[in-house]
Amino acid sequence: MYLERRMGDTELSYYLPSRGDGVNDMYLHLGCRTHPLNVARARVCLVWAILRLKHPLLASKVYTHDYDHVNFTYVPPRNALEAVFSADLNLEYRNQTSRKLVDSYLNGPRTLSDDRLSYLMVNTAPALLSQSASEVDCDFLICAAHFIGDGMALHQFANDFFALLCSQNILSDLYDLLDTELLNRQNVQLKQMLPMSLEDRLPTTSGGPLKHLASRVDYQRSQGKLIGGQAFPKQSGKLRNTVVHNVCIDTARTKVILKKCKENGVSVSSALFAVCNIAWARTQYKTPELPSMMYSALNIRPSLIQNPSLHDSYWFLAIGFFNVVLPSFIPTSGDLATTFWHRSREAKKQSALAMKSPMLISRCRQMASERSERAQAWGRMDDGNPPAATSKKSAKLPLFGKASERPPSTALMGLSLLGNLDSIYKHATYPTIQLHTLTTGSRQRSGGMLLFGYTFVGKLWVSLGYDENGFQKDVVESFWKNVLGTIDEFMLH
């Protein structure tokens, strides 16, 4: 017996670019100290098996019929032995530095594939596990294809993983939980076992062809307002090599930052848009008349249909995108701190407009369709196949003005702003493990760049991941230095 479900547009837009080198394959690295028994392979494997049953996309495979027709396929395990065997095949123990662990995932041969949509690595010294030490240092690297989920799913999964791993259940108890989960799956209707796509979870919009046309017009007009003329100077000719700069701001200074943001009516996430904006203006000042545009992911989960009859897995992809456009110049007079906080509030305003727009659902559908069609076109080109005929559905509406007269819409960079992750990680529920480090990201395409910002264990973390062979190194290094300097100047003093 096996189950199938066709990918939606959003999933397809992430799957097709990943086929070759694993572009966007996600990772979540968590460093900790814990008791050796918590990282014994038998225990980790059982917990991994239970959660793969709860979230079947983790254990699914991909079958491609055509560029616009790709399916998830899932074969439910018939018994506990099969579930554990499958989990063990996708579990690996390593003994290397944390940096090498992450670097090998980002820059080495692809870990995931159409037949392996998730993978778990445990990094610790084998000798420590066999000794009677009270605690060991350990790294967990949770790997998952981006087309099966997003950052929110990844972090919620990590919390559930540690809660179960560090529970008081002995191995026999975990086997009982696995059997119970198998029994629960047997009582779920087959068609409900695989979580639905984002597009099938979005509320349906009423209205006929005229309403659909109005939605398309709104989407294209909203896209037309996105003006950006700033970009990092690129270079080519070398293989991609992703490097990650991380900075962790201690608890005391993080409290100062949070207080400063609150006093100015913004979140840390909104302030980070202004940080990048000012840092870039200090790095490159060639075309200050053109604004800076930055993009970020938009969590669509609050807008989805809440149906208790659906499978309860949170492992599915549910993101859209929004853009923040800010001036690129630095005022020649006046208090620059005032400018910084004003731009932070402007970023907050633009973010709220995107999230609370009454057109959010229709724009999400339009963007998903557009990104899917673009991914299909690039997929055909990558495979050396002729382009598909343009359908009436995908044909763009005519825009006013000549193309040469329209302003540029180049994005400077992307920001992944995860907020307060301590609201997801319930540290008190797993006291026998002390999480101290969290880094996250994905395998990038050539010339990729993404800045992450979040609070974890009471500290603010900011990291910049980029292809060091895709950009002029001195410009990126100067920008990163200016990011840290801007945080220190405006958010800490």
Taking only the tens place, the pLDDT of each residue in 404-456 is: 567 899 999 999 999 999 999 999 999 999 999 999 999 999 999 999 999 99
Indicate whether 249 and 174 sit together in one domain.
no
Domain termination residue (choose one: 196, 224, 257): 196
Q: Can you name the residues that pair with 144 across neighbouring β-strands?
A: 26, 118
Q: Return the CATH number at 90.
A: 3.30.559.10
Say if residue 16's pLDDT is above 80.
Answer: yes
186 pLDDT tier (thresholds 50, 70, 90): confident
Residue 389 lies in a domain: no
Q: How many residues are given for the chain?
A: 493
* Residues spanned by the domain of 180: 3-196
Indicate whether 422 and 469 sit together in one domain.
yes
Please report, as a single letter, which amino acid is at residue 321: F
Q: Which two tokens stand for residue 176?
A: 């009982």
Taking the C-alpha atoms of residue 147 and residue 193, their distance in angstroms, rounded to an integer, is 17
How many structural domains does the chain have?
2
Indicate whether 43 and 105 sit together in one domain.
yes
Say if residue 59's pLDDT is above 70.
Answer: yes
Indicate whether 361 and 452 sit together in one domain.
yes
Among residues of the chain, what percentage have pLDDT more than 90?
83
Say if residue 397's pLDDT is above 60.
Answer: no
Contacts of 439 (CB under 8 A, 6+ apart): 29, 102, 244, 246, 461, 463
Taking the C-alpha atoms of residue 256 and residue 383, their distance in angstroms, rounded to an integer, is 52
Taking the C-alpha atoms of residue 158 and residue 301, their distance in angstroms, rounded to an integer, is 18
Domain termination residue (choose one: 147, 172, 196): 196
Residue 394 lies in a domain: no
Indicate whether 173 and 262 sit together in one domain.
no
Q: How far is CA 114 from CA 58, 195, 284, in A?
A: 11, 18, 41
Indicate whether 243 and 101 sit together in one domain.
no
Taking only the tens place, the pLDDT of each residue in 90-127 is: 999 999 999 999 999 999 999 999 999 999 999 998 76
Indicate whether 439 and 472 sit together in one domain.
yes
Domain termination residue (choose one: 161, 196, 231): 196
Indicate whether 219 and 141 sit together in one domain.
no
Q: Return the CATH number at 316.
A: 3.30.559.30
Q: How far is CA 3 from CA 77, 78, 121, 311, 383, in A?
A: 12, 13, 27, 14, 28
pLDDT at residue 401 in the model: 52
Q: Helix or strand or coil: residue 241?
A: coil
Taking only the tens place, the pLDDT of each residue in 188-231 is: 766 678 999 999 999 987 777 788 888 889 999 999 889 999 99
Indicate whether 315 and 168 sit together in one domain.
no
Residue 398 lies in a domain: no
Global pTM? 0.95
Residue 388 lies in a domain: no
404 or 79: whose pLDDT is higher?
Answer: 79
Place of tokens 């009859």: 309
3-state helix, strand, coil in the chain (%, to 5): 45, 25, 35
Residue 203 lies in a domain: no
142-151, 326-335, 484-493, range with the lowest pLDDT: 326-335
Residue 205 lies in a domain: no
Indicate whether 293 and 439 sit together in one domain.
yes
Q: Which two tokens stand for residue 148?
A: 């099966």
Indicate whether 173 and 257 sit together in one domain.
no
Residue 402 lies in a domain: no
Indicate whether 170 and 265 sit together in one domain.
no
